[in-house]
């Protein structure tokens, strides 16, 4: 039976942190003046709420949870590369979102900063584990 390594657990927890941070980001966003009214009218951040946008939001919230699970079950070499690549993609998605939306609350800045740091830690732990194999 294969045993989990310390880095796998750390990476899984970091991906869960990212998933919870995404939820916090949305919750804070809904507390801003006028946002709930816009959602009721079918719009979020200037974007029409439709099936495609809901699917995109769902994927963005599910991907970190899937990665947390995969971090615990994939073989080491695949695990390392999957985490490095997805964490880089995660950072790029965050940067693209920030460039297109800007910030409306200081809490969003804090959450994003934490998500960037956590994603960098995922890359770091995955890279360090790759060096050991």
- How confident is the model over 23-44, as pLDDT tens digits? 999 999 899 999 999 999 999 8
| CA angle centred on 116, ends 50 and 20, rounded to 5° | 55
Share the mean pLDDT of the chain: 91
Domain ranges of the chain: 6-132
**What's the token pair of residue 20?**
């919870």
Model confidence at 1: pLDDT above 60: no
Sign of CA dihedral 117, 119, 123, 129: positive
In this prediction, residue 4 has a pLDDT band, given cuts at 50, 70 and 90, of confident
- How confident is the model over 91-115, as pLDDT tens digits? 999 999 888 877 778 999 999 999 9
47: left (phi over 0), alpha (psi -120 to 50) or beta: beta
In this prediction, residue 133 has a pLDDT band, given cuts at 50, 70 and 90, of low
| Terminal CA-CA length for the chain | 19
Q: Which residues contact 9 (CB under 8 A, 6 or more apart)?
A: 72
Phi, psi of 116, deg, nearest 5: -65, -45
- How confident is the model over 41-71, as pLDDT tens digits? 999 877 899 999 999 989 999 999 999 999 9
Q: What is the pLDDT of residue 22?
A: 92
Mean pLDDT, residues 84-91 = 96
Q: What is the pLDDT of residue 2?
A: 61
């Amino acid at each position: 039976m294969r045993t989990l390594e310390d880095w796998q657990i750390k990476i899984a927890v970091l991906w869960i942190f990212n998933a919870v941070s995404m939820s916090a980001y949305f919750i804070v966003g809904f507390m801003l003046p006028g946002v709930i009214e816009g959602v009721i009218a079918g719009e979020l951040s200037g974007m029409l709420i439709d099936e495609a946008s809901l699917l995109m939001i769902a994927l963005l919230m599910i991907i970190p949870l899937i990665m947390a699970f995969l971090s615990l079950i994939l073989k080491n070499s695949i695990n390392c590369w999957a985490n490095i690549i997805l964490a880089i993609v995660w950072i790029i998605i965050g940067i693209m979102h920030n460039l297109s939306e800007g910030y409306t609350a200081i809490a969003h800045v804090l959450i994003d900063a934490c998500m960037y740091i956590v994603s960098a830690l995922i890359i770091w732990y995955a890279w360090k584990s790759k060096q050991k194999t």
